[in-house]
Structure 1
Amino acid sequence: MKTIEVSSALIGELIAEAAAAHPHEACGLLLGTNGAVCSIRPCANVHPTPDTHFEIDPRALIDAHRAERGGGPRVLGYYHSHPAGPPEPSATDRAQATADGRVWAIVGEGKVGWWQDTAEGFAALSYLATGG
């Protein structure tokens, strides 16, 4: 995957989620189909230091995977914000990555960066913004 498709409205939602969570990191799930993010699911950041780290509520993650198995939307990946940094993987993000091929949207400085968690590390994705 080199390009992810996402609506302008969803990009706006990600930026709004990051602003609402500030000074903590926002986090959640990216849902959709191969190559297209169709919706986001905001989740509680349950990390003990949410101003510098994120941890998606495990129950929300389990529920999303269970819904996917039942025919619901696919969990494409995750999003989180960097309240005081750029929209690119931090050293902490790199250390926590699992090389599972999932998409990461990172919100920082009023922008969204799109990444894929690969065996070789994070690979930048371009995105195709669609109407809506």
Structure 2
Amino acid sequence: MRVVVEAPAGRTIREHAASAYPQECCGALVGRASGESRVVAAAWPVENASEVDRTHRYAIAPSSYLEVERRANAQGLTLLGFYHSHPDAPARPSERDLLQALPRVDYIIVSVVRATPSDITCWRLRDDRVAFAPEEIEWRPES
């Protein structure tokens, strides 16, 4: 599977990750599934609702999740997944990420080093739910 990220969504993800530093940011990926690809038309920032160390954890409140679902449905879009940042850490899923992962959704992770987004990866929980599988990302250029 391949995840195609439209330019405005990619810009939002990078800017949100940089502005939230040194805390983790999080948000929703919305768009459309098309054959073997999922096209992310928009990235919607969501408040990090973690009640513990936000420099190493993120959480999306159930009310925020429902609001994203409603907003996406109203615009004829689908919630495809989520993004979050790893401040001063690799763009690889953590054990915490694995524990809170949902099946059949994409997770974009942004490594942010000294407030600058660097490596960006995408992952999907495997069917056996014991690990993530990497996903290919295609970044659409500005038109």
TM-score, with structure 1 as normaliser: 0.88
CA distance in 2, matches of 1:16, 1:71: 23
- After superposition, the C-alpha distances for 1:42-98 in whole angstroms (9 at most, x for unaligned) are 000010121110001322210122334445321000010000211110111112223
Which residue in 2 is equivalent to 1:97?
101
Query: 21-30 or 120-129: which moved more?
Result: 120-129
Which residue in 2 is equivalent to 1:66?
70
**Cα distance, 1:22 vs. partner?**
0.7
CA distance in 2, matches of 1:72, 1:54: 27
Structure 2: which 5+ runs fail to align?
113-117
Which residue in 1 is equivalent to 2:13?
14
CA distance 1:47–1:68, change in 2 (3 Å): same
Structure 1: which 5+ runs fail to align?
none
Identity of aligned residues (%): 27
Aligned counterpart in structure 2 of residue 126 of structure 1, from 125, 136, 139: 136
Q: How many residues align?
A: 130
Secondary structure, in 3 states, of the residue corresponding to 2:96? helix
Report if aligned partners of 1:9, 1:131 keep a CA contact under 8 Å in 2: no
Query: 30-39 or 58-67: which moved more?
Result: 58-67
TM-score, with structure 2 as normaliser: 0.82
Report if aligned partners of 1:26, 1:80 keep a CA contact under 8 Å in 2: yes
Report if aligned partners of 1:105, 1:112 keep a CA contact under 8 Å in 2: yes
Q: Find out whether 1:107 has 2:110 as its counterpart.
A: yes
Aligned counterpart in structure 1 of residue 124 of structure 2, from 116, 125, 130: 116
Which residue in 2 is equivalent to 1:23?
22
